[in-house]
Structure 1
Amino acid sequence: MNTTTFKGTTVVITGAAKGIGKGLAEAYAAAGADVIVSDTLKDEGQQTAEQLQANGYSAVFVPCDVRDEHEIKQLMEEAVRRTGRLDILINNAGVSRWKSPYELKVEEWDDVLNTNARSCFLASREAALHMRTNGGGAIVNISSTRSVMSEPNSEAYAASKGAIVALTHAMAVSLGPDGIRVNCISPGWIETGSYDQLRPEDHSQHPAGRVGVPKDIAKACFYFTDPDNTFVTGTHLVVDGGMTRKMIYEE
Structure 2
Amino acid sequence: MQAKDQVVLITGASQGIGKELAIQYAKQGAKVVLFDLEVEQGQRVCDLIQGQQGKALFVQCDVSKEKDIQHAVEQAIEHFGQIDVLINNAGLSRWKNVYELKIEEWDHILNVNLRGAFLFSKEVAKRMKGNKQGGSIVNMASTRALMSEANSEAYAASKGGLVALTHALAVSLGPDRIRVNAISPGWIETKEYDQLRQIDHIQHPAQRVGKPSDIFKACQYLTNPENDFVTGTNVVVDGGMTRKMLYEH
TM-score normalised by structure 1 residue count:
0.98
Cα distance in structure 2, aligned partners of 1:124 and 1:60:
19
2:187 matched to which residue of 1? 189
Displacement of 1:114 in angstroms is: 0.4
Secondary structure of the corresponding residue to residue 9 of structure 2: strand
Instruction: Give how far 1:8 is off.
Output: 1.2
Superposed displacement of residue 86, structure 1 = 0.4
Q: Does 1:114 align with 2:114?
A: no
How much is the aligned-residue C-alpha RMSD, in angstroms?
0.6
Q: 1:75 aligns with which of 61, 72, 85?
A: 72
**TM-score normalised according to structure 2 size:** 0.99
Task: Give the corresponding residue for 2:81.
Answer: 84
Q: Deviations over 1:20-78 (max 9, x none)?
A: 00011011001100000110011000000001111111111111100000111111111
Higher mean alpha-carbon deviation, 130-139 vs 88-97, is at 130-139
Amino acid at match of 1:53: Q
1:45 maps onto 2:42 in alignment:
yes
Identity %: 60
Match of 1:170 in 2: 168
Aligned structure 1 segments of 4 or more residues deviating by more than 4 angstroms: none
Distance (Å, rounded) in 2 between the aligned partners of 1:71 and 1:90: 17
- Determine the structure 2 residue equivalent to 1:35: 32
Task: Report what 1:95 is aligned to.
Answer: 92
- Among 8, 24, 29, the alignment partner of 2:21 is 24
Other-structure match for 1:229: 227
Q: Secondary structure at the match of 2:97?
A: coil
Task: Using the TM superposition, give the Cα deviation of residue 101 of structure 1 relative to its aligned residue in structure 2, in angstroms.
Answer: 0.8
- The structural deviation recorded for 1:132 is 0.5
1:97 to partner: Cα distance: 1.0
SS at match of 1:62: strand
Gaps of 5+ in 1: none
User: Aligned residues, how many?
Assistant: 248
Q: Which amino acid aligns with 1:233?
A: T
Distance (Å, rounded) in 1 between the aligned partners of 2:47 and 2:122: 29
State the secondary structure of the residue aligned to 1:78. helix
Cα distance between partner residues in 2 of 1:227 and 1:89: 13
Please tell me whether residue 179 in structure 1 is matched to residue 171 in structure 2. Answer: no
Post-superposition CA distance 1:210-234 (Å, at most 9, x none): 0000100000001100010110000
